[in-house]
Structure 1
């Protein structure tokens, strides 16, 4: 990933774009007009990901370099647009390998988790493959992976943003995660999102049973409220908007 970042930095330098000591970016043609990471992403990622001198994998590598430099959500949007192209889409397997690598990194990529949540998992046309690529395909390994292995870190990050994933897809993974106490806080966030997200997906009985298996820090917020609404048969906050508030009293 460091190599991808340096590749993107070198590509930008050729275009006259360099990073300042204060973390902003400057164009040699307009040095008095610094750009934020988001402004740079909006201005240059589309240019990079359509670079005619690169093949599909090379364009994705360059885009991932931008993500490594900026951790900006718009970079993930441009990659998603490119993958949806009908004329010259980059290879999807390279894209998902890049996502897995960043979900496994010690550094947390906020843009990756956010894009999974609001784009790939909320879209019923993409969620099945997306969830399989970032975690579902590793279900058999989840029960035996060591806590310090990259997959374990990836699993926690995916569980946290998995609320919109349809229950039949994620339930086997949730069951496997419930057998790993170290993953319980992340699994709770997944259950909480399964109830609280607009597009959350949750089976009340199975969710309540999973919740009962979790061993969480005493100060974890919303545990009893979630238990109360699930026991009452509510499976989504937005379909029963008063239930959550009532559970607090």
Structure 2
């Protein structure tokens, strides 16, 4: 983060009490989002090797906390100069998913960029959780649990065939059941959500959840009826809400 702060200072950008300012327009207060949109892409033009450019970009993400920084990372990965070094890229995501602070920009990036894109969803899901789920279940440290929960909760768009083995493994650890439930629910509600109703229902029925878990009964009803997605079955969820109320 401090390297990113120094880099911004070299671009003439500094943090003040209520935001950011540039040396060119010191009277104009900038938001973190303004800074991200204006300068984050320039990181990948720096005279550094690609791995160091990427590390600097992650430092900007830590400093600014803005989703747009993850967009620039994705753009760089897709560019003619890409792909970015996979070890640095996915280690950067994993470390931030394990952090004991809010990571909304990171989880949103996974959800709408990496997981919704069928050309990247399998690799992304494997890198941030699928490859490690056995280790998470066997040795569930707080950091690993944070990562697993965050990934499961935003995994709705991941193809069912990709995520089902990870879901079944996560089922062995009750601490992951609430996040697994939210992942199943997102698989039904997300525009690009993906699930297989019978298999999802079998998982749902094995979750150890509080009796008053909101929307559990409704989810069970739509899955039992064979519905795969809220948008492919208009009205099914509303019908379930009415019948379960």
User: Normalising to structure 2: TM-score of the pair?
Assistant: 0.95
Query: Which of residues 65, 70, 74 is equivalent to 2:59?
Result: 65
1:215 aligned partner: 208
Question: Which residue number in structure 1 is paired with residue 12 of structure 2?
Answer: 16
Match of 2:23 in 1: 28
Correspondence 1:100-139 to 2 at 5 A? 100-139=94-133
Match of 2:40?
Answer: 45
Distance in 1, matches of 2:13 and 2:80, equals: 31
For residues 141 and 201 of structure 2, the distance between their equivalents in structure 1, rounded to whole angstroms, comes to 26
SS at 2:138 equivalent: coil
Instruction: Return the alpha-carbon distance in structure 2 between the equivalents of residues 241 and 181 of structure 1.
Output: 32
Matching of residues 132-211 of structure 1 within 5 Å: 132-148=126-142, 150-211=143-204
CA deviation map 1:2-58 (0-9, x unaligned): xxx100001111222111112x1100221111111111100000112221x211011
Aligned partners of 2:133 and 2:170 also within 8 Å? no
Q: Which runs of 5+ in 2 are unaligned?
A: none
1:213: Cα distance to partner?
Answer: 1.1
> Could you report, residue by residue, the CA deviation over 1:64-102 in whole angstroms, capped at 9, with x for unpaired residues?
011001111110000001011123543122111100100
The answer to whether residue 80 in structure 2 is matched with residue 80 in structure 1 is no
- How many residues in Structure 1 have an aligned counterpart in Structure 2? 242
Q: Deviations over 1:157-195 (max 9, x none)?
A: 100000011111111111111111111111011000111
**Among 201, 223, 230, the residue aligned to 2:223:** 230
8 Å contact from structure 1 (residues 59, 90) kept in 2: no
Q: Distance in 1 between matches of 2:173 and 2:84?
A: 36
2:48 equivalent to 1:54: yes
- Give the Å deviation of 1:123: 0.5
Shift of 1:147: 4.2
The equivalent of 2:88 in structure 1 is 94
- Paired residues of 2:8 and 2:14 also in contact (CA < 8 A): yes
For residues 88 and 123 of structure 1, what CA distance do their matches in structure 2 show?
A: 17
State how far apart, in whole Å, the 2-side matches of 1:118 and 1:88 are.
20
Distance, in Å, in 1 between the alignment partners of 2:200 and 2:73 is 34
Cα distance in 2 for partners of 1:147, 1:208 equals 29
For 1:117 and 1:232, locate their aligned partners in 2 and report how far apart those are by CA, in whole Å: 27
Say whether the 8 Å CA contact 1:41–1:74 is kept in structure 2: yes
